C-alpha cells in the first residue's frame, strides 16, 4: 500500500530545502505543515512511497481517487499544487515524463538531525492570546536589552526601502488546508490595492518570500519593501483565531498587531477594520476617493465572502474544471448578497478566461452572460476598478467585443487604480493583439521593470510581443520565466509551442505539446487557434504558421 514505505518520521531533501515527513504530513524544518490540499497530499504520499519511479496517471488515479477515475486536469492540478508548495519552479523535484507519468526526486537525510518537535495543539482561547502576547513581549524585550549586531543581513535605520506593502500569505496553523488563511490574505491585498496611495507587491513576489526562513529585515531587503504584513489563522470547529501584524522592514519592529477570536460570522467585521488600521499605522495620507473606498463595504455576508475567496482560488488553477466550480461559488455568493458587485465582476472575468481558452460550449450565451455580469457590477459600484477591468477584458476576447471600448474601460480601470499595474498590462496586451506591438512592448517592459518578480501573465504578454516582433530567443527566455511560475498554464504552454516552432526546435516543441495534451487540452491546430486573441490578420497568420512548424495539424 502507498505510504507504508515512508518512515513514521523521516527527514527529506527536496530540491535545496529539507522537510520532515511525520505521520502522513509534510512539514518544513520549523514544524509548520506544508499547505497541500487533501488530494495533493495523498498524491505526494504516493510519489514518496515509490520515490525514483515513474508513476503513470492511471496508477495515481487508482491510489488518490480509488472510487472513481480522475481526469487529467485533476491529476495535473495536484501536481501543480505540490510543485508550488515545494517551490519546484524548474520541475526538478516532481519531474514530468510526457505520455508516461510523474516521478518524485527525493533524498533521505539523517532523521535525528535538527528536527523541530511537532507543534502542540493548544486551546483556541486564552492560551493563544497568552502565547501571542508573550511573543510580542519577548520581541520588544530583546530589542530593548540586547545590543544590535551589524551583519550583512541587518538593515540600518537609514536604509532606504520602497514604500510598498508586502502581504505575505497568511499561515494556517490548523488543519484547514490553508483555504481560509490564503483567502483572507488575498482579500486584504485586493482591498488595499484599491487605494491609489498604496503600492502592493505582487503575489508572485510575496509568495516566494513567504517560503523563506529570513528575518523580517532580511526579507524586506530581499524584496525591497518597507512594510510587511503577516498573519496566522487557526480554526477549531466553528471557532476561529486570526492574528495579523504589520512589521517595519527597516528594523523589524511591529508597528501594529491585532487578534480576532470568535466565529466566522463575526470575522467579517474584523476583516473590514484591518485595512483602516494598517493605513493609520503606516501614517499614510489618502485622497478623498481612497478614503471613500476604504470605508466602502463590499459585502456584509460572511458566507458570500467565503464563496468569492474560494472562487478566486479555483480560477487561479486556470482549468476548465476550476472555472466551472468558480462559477457555482460566485453564483451562490450573488444569491446570498445580490448587491455584491465584486462577485459579479469576478464571474465576468471567469467567463473571459473561458473564452480565452475556448472552454465554452455555448459561446454566444456565455458571452451575453459575461457582459451582463460585468455591466451589473458597474451598476452596483461604478468606482469598482475590477468591474471596468472585467468589462474591458470581455470586449477584448469576445467575437462581439469592441476593441475601442476595451481600451476605454481599461483606461478607466488604470485611472481608478493607478498604483496597480494589472489594468495597464492588460491594456498593453489589447494594444498588441490589435497590431500596436512596439507600443505594447514598451508598456510591458515598464511594468515588469517595477516588479522584481512580476506575475506570470505580465511575462506572457511580453513573450507574445517578442514573438510577434520575431525576437524568438528573447521570447523563449521570457516564456520560460512565465512557466517557472505557472508550470501548467495553458497560455504559457501555447506560446512556448509557437516559439519553439519558429526556432525549429521541433523535438522540444513535441515535449511541450505532449505536456499540453496531458493536461487535458486538444492539440489539433484548429482547436489551439480558437484560443488565439490576436485580431490583426497578419498576426493570426504568423501564429498559425508557427504552430504548423511545431507539428500541429
> What is the SS3 string spanning 373-438?
HHHHHHHHCCCCHHHHHHHHHHHHHCCCCCHHHHHHHHHHHHHHCCCCCHHHHHHHHHHHHCCCHH
Residue 303: the pLDDT is 93
Q: 145-154: long-range contacts (C-beta < 8 A, 24 or more apart)?
A: 153/214, 153/215, 153/217, 153/218, 153/221, 154/217
Residuewise pLDDT in 10s, the chain (553 residues): 444 344 467 888 888 788 888 878 888 876 677 878 778 888 999 999 888 888 988 888 888 888 777 777 678 878 888 888 888 877 788 988 866 889 999 887 754 444 444 333 334 334 444 444 444 444 334 344 333 333 334 444 445 788 889 898 888 876 555 678 888 988 998 888 888 778 887 665 665 555 556 788 888 888 888 999 999 998 888 889 999 999 999 888 999 999 999 988 888 999 999 999 999 999 888 888 888 888 889 999 999 999 999 999 888 877 888 889 999 999 999 999 999 999 999 999 999 988 888 887 667 888 999 999 999 999 999 999 999 999 999 999 898 899 999 999 999 999 888 777 889 999 999 999 999 999 999 999 999 987 766 888 999 999 999 999 999 999 999 999 888 877 778 899 999 999 999 999 998 899 899 888 877 789 999 999 988 989 899 999 999 999 999 999 9
pTM of the model: 0.69
**Nearest to 75, CA basis, from 56, 54, 89, 91:** 56
Residue 344: the pLDDT is 98
Residue 289: the pLDDT is 85
Place of cell 528573447: 474
Residue 380: the pLDDT is 97
Place of cell 460570522: 265
DSSP class of 31: S
Residue 67: the pLDDT is 74
Show the beta-strand stretches assigned E in 196-319.
199-200, 227-236, 239-248, 254-263
CB atoms closer than 10 angstroms to residue 7: 10
Residue 479: the pLDDT is 94
Contact 129/137 with Cβ under 8 angstroms?
no
**Nearest to 197, CA basis, from 84, 293, 85, 108:** 293
Place of cell 518524485: 104
How many angstroms separate the CA atoms of 220 and 203, rounded?
15
How many angstroms separate the CA atoms of 240 and 170, rounded?
14
Contact 329/308 with Cβ under 8 angstroms?
yes
How many angstroms separate the CA atoms of 407 and 427, rounded?
6
Contact 115/20 with Cβ under 8 angstroms?
yes
Pair type for strands 9-14 and 101-104: unpaired
151 CB-near residues (< 8 Å, 6+ apart)? none
Show the beta-strand stretches assigned E in 453-549.
none
The secondary structure of 104-157, three-state, reads: ECCEEECCCCCCCCCCCCCCCCCHHHHHHHHHHHHHHHHHHHCCCCCCCCCCCC
DSSP class of 402: -
Beta-carbon-side half-sphere exposure of residue 488 (alpha carbons within 13 Å): 27
Residue 235 bridge partners (DSSP): 240
Residue 383: the pLDDT is 92
Residue 145: the pLDDT is 39
Residue 199 bridge partners (DSSP): 164
Domains of the chain, CATH where assigned: 9-109 (1.10.10.10), 127-295 (3.40.50.10070), 308-550 (1.25.40.10)
Contact 351/394 with Cβ under 8 angstroms?
yes
Residue 487: the pLDDT is 78
Residue 13 bridge partners (DSSP): 18, 107
How many angstroms separate the CA atoms of 212 and 370, rounded?
40
Amino acid at each position: 500500500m502507498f505510504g507504508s514505505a515512508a518512515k513514521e518520521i523521516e527527514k527529506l531533501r527536496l530540491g535545496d530545502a529539507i522537510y520532515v515527513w511525520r505521520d502522513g504530513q509534510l512539514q518544513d524544518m520549523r514544524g509548520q505543515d506544508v499547505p497541500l490540499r487533501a488530494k495533493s497530499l495523498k498524491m505526494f504520499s504516493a510519489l514518496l512511497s515509490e520515490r525514483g519511479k515513474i508513476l503513470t496517471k492511471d496508477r495515481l488515479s487508482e491510489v488518490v481517487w480509488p472510487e472513481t477515475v480522475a481526469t487529467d486536469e485533476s491529476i495535473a492540478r495536484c501536481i501543480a499544487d505540490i510543485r508550488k508548495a515545494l517551490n519546484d519552479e524548474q520541475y526538478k523535484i516532481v519531474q514530468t515524463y510526457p505520455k508516461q507519468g510523474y516521478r518524485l526526486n527525493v533524498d533521505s537525510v539523517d532523521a535525528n538531525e535538527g528536527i523541530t518537535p511537532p507543534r502542540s495543539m493548544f486551546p483556541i482561547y486564552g492560551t493563544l492570546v497568552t502565547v501571542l502576547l508573550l511573543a510580542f513581549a519577548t520581541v520588544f524585550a530583546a530589542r530593548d536589552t540586547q545590543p544590535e549586531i551589524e551583519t550583512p543581513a541587518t538593515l540600518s535605520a537609514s536604509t532606504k526601502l520602497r514604500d510598498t506593502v508586502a502581504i505575505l500569505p497568511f499561515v494556517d496553523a490548523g488543519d484547514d488546508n490553508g483555504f481560509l488563511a490564503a483567502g483572507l490574505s488575498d482579500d486584504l491585498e485586493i482591498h488595499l490595492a484599491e487605494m491609489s496611495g498604496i503600492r502592493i507587491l505582487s503575489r508572485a513576489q510575496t509568495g516566494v518570500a513567504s517560503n523563506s526562513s529570513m528575518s523580517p529585515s532580511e526579507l524586506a531587503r530581499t524584496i525591497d519593501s518597507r512594510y510587511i504584513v503577516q498573519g496566522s489563522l487557526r480554526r477549531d470547529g466553528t471557532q476561529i483565531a486570526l492574528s495579523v501584524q504589520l512589521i517595519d522592514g527597516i528594523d523589524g519592529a511591529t508597528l501594529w498587531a491585532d487578534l480576532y477570536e470568535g466565529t466566522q460570522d463575526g470575522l467579517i467585521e474584523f476583516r473590514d477594520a484591518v485595512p483602516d488600521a494598517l493605513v493609520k499605522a503606516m501614517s499614510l495620507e489618502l485622497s478623498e476617493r481612497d478614503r471613500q473606498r476604504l470605508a466602502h463595504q463590499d459585502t456584509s455576508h460572511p458566507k458570500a465572502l467565503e464563496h468569492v475567496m474560494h472562487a478566486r482560488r479555483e480560477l487561479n488553477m486556470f482549468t476548465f474544471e476550476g472555472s466551472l466550480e468558480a462559477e457555482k461559488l460566485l453564483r451562490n455568493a450573488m444569491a446570498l448578497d445580490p448587491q455584491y458587485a465584486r462577485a459579479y465582476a469576478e464571474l465576468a472575468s471567469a467567463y473571459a478566461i473561458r473564452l480565452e481558452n475556448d472552454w465554452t460550449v455555448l459561446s454566444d450565451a456565455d458571452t451575453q452572460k459575461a457582459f451582463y455580469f460585468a455591466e451589473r457590477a458597474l451598476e452596483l459600484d461604478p468606482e469598482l476598478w475590477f468591474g471596468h477591468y472585467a468589462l474591458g477584458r470581455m470586449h477584448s476576447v469576445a467575437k462581439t467585443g469592441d476593441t475601442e471600448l476595451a481600451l476605454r474601460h481599461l483606461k478607466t480601470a488604470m485611472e481608478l487604480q493607478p498604483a496597480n499595474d494589472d489594468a495597464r498590462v492588460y491594456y498593453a496586451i489589447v494594444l498588441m493583439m490589435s497590431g500596436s506591438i512596439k507600443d505594447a512592448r514598451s508598456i510591458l517592459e515598464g511594468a515588469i521593470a517595477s516588479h522584481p518578480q512580476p506575475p506570470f501573465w505580465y511575462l506572457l504578454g511580453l513573450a507574445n510581443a517578442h514573438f510577434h516582433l520575431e525576437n524568438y530567443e528573447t521570447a523563449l527566455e521570457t516564456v520560460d520565466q512565465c512557466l517557472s511560475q505557472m508550470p501548467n498554464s495553458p497560455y504559457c504552454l501555447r506560446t512556448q509551442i509557437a516559439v519553439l516552432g519558429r526556432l525549429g526546435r521541433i523535438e522540444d516543441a513535441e515535449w511541450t505539446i505532449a505536456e499540453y495534451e496531458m493536461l487535458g487540452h486538444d492539440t489539433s491546430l484548429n482547436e489551439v487557434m480558437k484560443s488565439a486573441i490576436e485580431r490583426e490578420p497578419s498576426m493570426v497568420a504568423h501564429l498559425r504558421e508557427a504552430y504548423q512548424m511545431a507539428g500541429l495539424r
